[in-house]
Structure 1
């Protein structure tokens, strides 16, 4: 991942300001207004996200400059604008959403920004898709309800999470099908259940089926585990899982045999969904 130097900030003449959590289609409306020498001023709230930390940089070609909320939340109106000018000496255009607020306790609004900044202020209207106002909060809500297809529609791509490979129970390989168990970081997770997914290892994509939830039929612990379909691969150190569609709710089975029968059904369902949608969506 590229880290930009202070001198490179001098080239920036336009910035889009926001949390950019998810880099969804609503955010893309701001990004479209950037000049070729534009950048994203990313306010990082350091909590569970759609795109935690510097992961946002994976979804835009523009440079992202990250600022922790604690770093700027106490600024008054004048201090915040002065901070922007100091960070980006050649700043000529600030791009913001229609509901933009800034400064301590969000006490400053667009009119304050216009009064304090002598360059151009570009205000982007609320963005609707199929009658739905596209906001990160709406995308989070859909994901947490398991409504993955609709969430992906608003994001403009499949929702993905990344995790480190960890040791599981070992039951998958012995009793069912081999799975890659993941330790997930600060991501918003879909509701518990089984999903058709596409897994990314390096630059390669693999159809997969993923379980998220409490292992009701074994040890009662939470897990996120993925089975790669029709491929025998060595478990990587890390894995990115992209959600295609919800398959079923989590449930407890009376026996391992009943669970295995259901897992094979889930695999068949996942194959059909991914074949229809394609690896690249």
Structure 2
């Protein structure tokens, strides 16, 4: 029932933190900080994560991950769920959860119930705040979708990032505008349409960049994710190459321009703003 991201044997794990962990944000980090040695994350996977979908949650961790398919456990009662954990982790001594943790069919039990059902220690991490906001994955998603990327980053504790695969673009960037890398992005939450100051990671190297997301309303109206590397030549990239984009600041909304020359002039202004922003990071 449990899928693993490492080969560490379950019988060596003495502490677990349980949750959905989409984003591995600052509140999640408080849970994870309680694990110590021989700890692991138990990720209840509803296949809905979009900040850090699938195995990407494990990129931000130094601990092993175990994935529990929600569909396989949704009908378990609270007692059966606890018994499952004890079977899977024979040496389990401590469970760490958030204040709003619920489990069992129909969310029948909460964090306090877990203390009564589990015969080891249960640590409940209280609600965490940043910018007067309670830190939740859903709050971060809302901020990203509304273009408030800097605020979202503060709740995350890092720059929000998406991974995409290189695809063929229109072919006019290098000739009439500025050269870009065009990406197809799946599963990750796409930020609000517009232009962003970003860093782009290619083969482990970070490049200052300007990234456009949205419909190309000045040209073909197709949706695109395009990133321009600032002051460097784009390395040769094959289609399907995986690239990461890290969002630093929202610069402006998507706009339609009367001519490509005016669009190019605006992109050059965007690059200047991005350079100033990124130099401060």
Alignment TM-score, normalising by the size of structure 2: 0.94
Runs of 4+ in 1 over 6 A off after TM superposition: none
Distance 1:263 1:139, change over 3 A: same
Counterparts of residues 196-235 of structure 1 (less than 5 Å): 196-232=197-233, 233-235=235-237
Stretch of structure 1 that moved more, 38-47 or 207-216: 38-47
In the alignment, which residue of structure 1 is the partner of 2:272?
A: 268
In the alignment, which residue of structure 2 is the partner of 1:171?
A: 172
Counterparts of residues 178-193 of structure 1 (less than 5 Å): 178-193=179-194
In the alignment, which residue of structure 1 is the partner of 2:258?
A: 254
2:51 partner SS: coil
Distance in structure 2 (CA, Å) of the matches to 1:52 and 1:8 = 24
In the alignment, which residue of structure 1 is the partner of 2:73?
A: 72
RMSD: 1.3
2:82 partner SS: helix
1:10 partner SS: helix
Cα shift readout 1:217-253 (whole Å, capped 9, x = no counterpart)? 1111111010111111223611100001000000111
Contact kept, 8 Å, 2:73 with 2:81, in 1: the verdict is yes
In the alignment, which residue of structure 1 is the partner of 2:247?
A: 243
Matched positions, count: 275
Cα shift readout 1:127-175 (whole Å, capped 9, x = no counterpart)? 1123221111111111111111111111111000001101111111121
Cα shift readout 1:67-117 (whole Å, capped 9, x = no counterpart)? 222122121112111111111111110000111100111111224322221
> Structure 1: 5+ residue runs without aligned partners?
none
1:127 aligns with 2:153: no
2:123 partner SS: strand
2:96 partner SS: strand
In the alignment, which residue of structure 1 is the partner of 2:109?
A: 108
Distance in structure 1 (CA, Å) of the matches to 2:106 and 2:81 = 13
> Structure 2: 5+ residue runs without aligned partners?
none
Distance 1:246 1:45, change over 3 A: same
